[in-house]
Amino acid sequence: MFIFILKRIFQSIPVLLVVSLVTFIMIRSAPGGPFDQDRNVPPAVIKNLNAHYHLDDPLWKQYVDYVVNVLKGDFGPSFKFQSHTVNDLILAGFPATMELAFYATLFALVVGLTAGIIASLKPNSLQDYIPMSSAMLGICLPSFVLGPLLLLVFGIWLQWLPVAGWGQIPGDKILPSITLGAAYAAYIARISRGGMLEVLSQDYIRTARAKGLSPARIVFVHALRGGITPVISFLGPAIAGLLAGSFVVETIFQIPGLGRFYVQAAFNRDYTMIMGCTIFFAFLIVTFNLLADVVLVLLNPKLRQQINEGH
């Protein structure tokens, strides 16, 4: 098991390297350096800045230096905000983004699983159509549509919830979390319904019924294990979408998170910030994918045995 995890970590390293390389190449191919936008800077100063940030070195050397620094944990100074390093900015924005993603996932799991399981118990009935239609709504209303709508209704018209900020006014975490999590709740509802239906039609559920077990036991002890597997498979890659979604949600609700910083960095051509964030995001995505895979293996005794035997 441990070796399996090691193996997966080992396989992830090239991915991160590729990400950093591709990002690096793309950034450097962009026309215009980071300081061109400040038109009032005299050329001599530009020359000094370039030297200070090693922009005169051959490209490959810049890249290698960068990677070495990253491995030491140093993402370099921000190009735009000269008094801060990228590390500072990431550390500043990361907690908010992570918290947002966490609440969104929590919302998505609670709402999605409940809806999906309830729907699967009585297929093609009202108990099925209502949650599934709501799920369809969740899929077709993207976060940048849902967010403003919720803001409009609950923040401006009804004035029940705050419209901006994170952690300043009580309740200001509700709307952003729901906005980000809604689409995922919808997907999880559909996937868990599908997974549960698949499991409930299996022979071993029929055996459980024939043994006279209570319906609760059949659903939660027997069916859930198998029914949840596709949801776990979905969650791994979903983290990438959650991070991307945070860009939008943080922008709409003015949340000082990493997503918003990232979008701003993109506009500002803040090289180091873009690279740092990209690699950081890639790292998060890889980690969560690995976690999801590990959970999948833990849930399946047959896979567990295969892994332990060295497959």
Partner 1 sequence: MSIEIINSPTISSQTIEQGVSLSQDAFRRLRKNKMAMAGLFLLVFLIVIALLTPWIAPYSYDGQDLALGATSPSQQHWLGTDALGRDQLTRVMYGSRVSLAVGFIATAVALLIGVLWGATAGFVGGRVDAIMMRIVDGLYALPFTIFIILLTVVFGSSMLLLFLAIGAVEWLTMARIVRGQVLTIKRQEFVEAAVSMGLSPLQIISRHLIPNVLGPIIVYTTLTIPSVILLESFLSFLGLGIQPPQSSWGSLISSGVETMEEYPWLLIFPALTLSLTLFSLNFLGDGLRDALDPRAAKD
Partner 2 sequence: MLSVKNLRVVFNTRNGTTVAVDDLSFELKAGEVLGIVGESGSGKSVACYSLLGLIPTPPGKIERGTAEFLGQDLLRMSETELRKIRGLKISMIFQDPMTSLNPYMRIADQLIESVLEHHNVSKAEARQRAIKALTEVGIRDVELRINDYPHQFSGGMRQRVMIAMALITEPQLLIADEPTTALDVTVQAQILALIKKLQRNHNLAVIFITHDLGVALQMADNIIVMEKGKLVEQGSTTQIFTQPAQAYTQKLLSAVLTTSKPTPSLAEKTEPPFLQVKNLKTYFPKFGGLFIKRLLATQKAVDELSLTLNRGEILGVVGESGSGKSTLGRSIMRLVDAQSGEVLLEGKDLLKLSDSDLKKSRYNFQMIFQDPYASLNPRMTVFDTLAEPLLAHKLATKNNVAEQVNQLMDDVGLDRRFIRKYPHEFSGGQRQRIAIARAIALKPKLIIADEPVSALDVTIRAQILKLLLELTQKHQLTMLFISHDMSVVRYLCDRVVVMQNGKLVEEGETEILFAAPKAAYTQQLLAAIPKV
> Would you count residue 62 as binding partner 2 (CB under 8 A)?
no
Residues forming beta bridges with residue 85, ordered by sequence position: 77
Show contacts with partner 1 in window 152-181 (CB under 8 A).
152, 156
- Nearby residues of 250 by Cβ (< 8 Å), 6 or more positions away: 96, 97, 100, 176, 256, 257, 259, 260
Piece of the chain touching partner 2 by CB under 8 A; list 23-31, 230-238, 288-296, 302-310: 302-310
Sign of the alpha-carbon dihedral angle for 195, 196, 197, 201: positive
Whether the CB-CB separation of 105 and 183 falls below 8 Å is answered with: no
Cα(184)–Cα(97) distance, integer angstroms: 16
Whether the CB-CB separation of 249 and 255 falls below 8 Å is answered with: yes
Shortest distance, position 256 Cβ to partner 1, whole Å:
17
In this chain, which of 209, 220, 237, 244 binds partner 2, going by CB under 8 A?
A: 209
Whether the CB-CB separation of 106 and 118 falls below 8 Å is answered with: no
What is the residue type of 175?
Answer: L
Cα(46)–Cα(42) distance, integer angstroms: 7
Shortest distance, position 183 Cβ to partner 2, whole Å:
30
Piece of the chain touching partner 2 by CB under 8 A; list 31-39, 242-250, 261-269, 300-308: 300-308
Cα(93)–Cα(264) distance, integer angstroms: 12
Count of residues in contact with partner 2, rule CB under 8 A: 30
Cα(309)–Cα(311) distance, integer angstroms: 6
**Contacted entry of partner 2, partner 1, none for residue 311, CB cut-off 5 to 8 Å set by kind:** partner 2
In this chain, which of 167, 171, 237, 301 binds partner 2, going by CB under 8 A?
A: 301
Site string for partner 2, 109-148 (x = CB under 8 A): ---------------x------------------------
> Would you count residue 286 as binding partner 1 (CB under 8 A)?
yes
**Which chain residues interact with partner 1 by CB under 8 A?**
12, 14-15, 18-19, 22-23, 26-27, 29-30, 136, 139-142, 144-145, 148-149, 151-152, 156, 237, 240-241, 243-244, 247-248, 251-252, 263, 266-267, 269, 274, 278, 281-282, 285-286, 289
